[in-house]
Structure 1
């Protein structure tokens, strides 16, 4: 399949993405994936934190818990729009992270930069905003693991790890939104519920909107990542032409 720009569908990438999604789905309840789930929770809380800073607020502290819950405590300036942005930042932040990982790994070939950047991000968030020892230990410990992976793992393993993190992040974001859409007990204490109290728009509407945005963003990123641009014709060097003459 070729796009209007000439990019071709890379079936190898597509198969690998499908495999990673399948592995994440099948082993969703496996204890081996617990660190991945807590990592995505950190992405969620980082989305809240970034949104708070962008609207002129400040981040007090971030808490992660072993039961895969989390919270971001921040101070916000007066105004409804800022609160809407911050409450929405968690779910959309997870989707943006998944999309960014897909593009960085396959579209832009930033293999080791992805893991290195994630390592720096976790270190900064842990040192500056960790509100308890578990959060600090998880952030710094995971940062060390990712940093070592960026330094020593082979290119193919780095690609596979980045793609799995991206696929798992996408799955987690969508599963989280599914809970807010269909589980009334979860929805009653979710970010969607906070927005419902603020705007009088039902929580299920906010969750539905976030779902559409997340799915659309991830679909566009996956589409772009699975299509490789063909290499253009390269002119021979001047020295090569001279030797032929």
Structure 2
């Protein structure tokens, strides 16, 4: 009973400087080279989780998920090769990190820090069931171990800072893969990207879908930032 009360209850929000520092730290990681290559694995996890969740909601059969050491990933589902279900499944990947970050910003706005951390852990456990390669399984286990350790072994202040860091990272980090995608496309190196698959499914130019990705990711970043900073300004 105590666990459930703590899970759905509220926790003390961190001091305003912590909110700002975690935001700056997330931005530094996203704009860096080596730290970004490591941290981008988190974006890939959420990207593939987005594909998987929408595939299931669309009535498709999820065959498996692979996460690779070059931070790429693949989610395979079975069902009709065309139609709205396939369109939404293809659309979900690039916008998933930003939308999840926006949802987390909403949770932080109500001071539900513990719930945020355990939602992350639950998603990782669900993905672990469907992962189909060793690197992917190890990545999920290590990431899950970090989340559980923070949730169970650290103070409420550390948990709050960690929750804000995750949220900032998803919001800020959700934008960079879209720009990377378009750079690859401009060099002819991403002919099977989600945007190009959407173009074949809908007869709409791939660049239009890239712009959709940008609108959603940048819009989520702007709105999420407003939600998190409003609490420390007013």
Query: Normalised by the shorter chain, which TM-score bucket?
Result: 0.7 to 0.9
| Residue 225 of structure 2, aligned match among 222, 226, 229 | 222
User: Cα deviation per residue 1:152-198 (whole Å; 9 max; x = unaligned)?
Assistant: 22222222222222222223321111123333234423100111111
| Residue 122 of structure 1, aligned match among 121, 124, 143 | 124
After superposition, the CA RMSD in angstroms is 2.4
Structure 1 equivalent of residue 112 of structure 2: 110
Larger radius of gyration: 1
Structure 2 equivalent of residue 159 of structure 1: 160
Contact 1:20 1:163 in 2 (8 A): no
Give distance in 1, aligned partners of 2:113 and 2:23: 19
Q: Specify every segment of 5 or more residues in structure 1 that has no aligned partner in the other structure, as ranges.
A: 1-9, 232-245
Structure 1 equivalent of residue 100 of structure 2: 97
What is the Cα deviation at residue 229 of structure 1?
9.2
Runs of 4+ in structure 1 deviating by more than 6 angstroms, as ranges, are none
Give distance in 2, aligned partners of 1:191 and 1:205: 12
| Residue 49 of structure 2, aligned match among 25, 46, 50 | 46
Q: Specify every segment of 5 or more residues in structure 2 that has no aligned partner in the other structure, as ranges.
A: 1-14
SS of alignment partner, residue 227 of structure 1: helix
User: Cα deviation per residue 1:109-151 (whole Å; 9 max; x = unaligned)?
Assistant: 122222222112111211x201112211221222122111111
Aligned residues: 218
Give distance in 2, aligned partners of 1:83 and 1:102: 29
What is the Cα deviation at residue 53 of structure 1?
0.7
Structure 2 equivalent of residue 71 of structure 1: 74
SS of alignment partner, residue 174 of structure 2: helix
TM-score by length of 2: 0.83
Contact 1:181 1:208 in 2 (8 A): no
What is the Cα deviation at residue 12 of structure 1?
4.0
Contact 1:180 1:186 in 2 (8 A): no
Contact 1:180 1:204 in 2 (8 A): no
Give distance in 2, aligned partners of 1:157 and 1:11: 14
Structure 1 equivalent of residue 28 of structure 2: 23
Closer/same/farther in 2, CA of residues 18 and 130 from structure 1, 3 Å limit: closer
Contact 2:19 2:164 in 1 (8 A): no
Contact 2:55 2:62 in 1 (8 A): yes
What is the Cα deviation at residue 224 of structure 1?
1.8
Give distance in 2, aligned partners of 1:79 and 1:209: 20
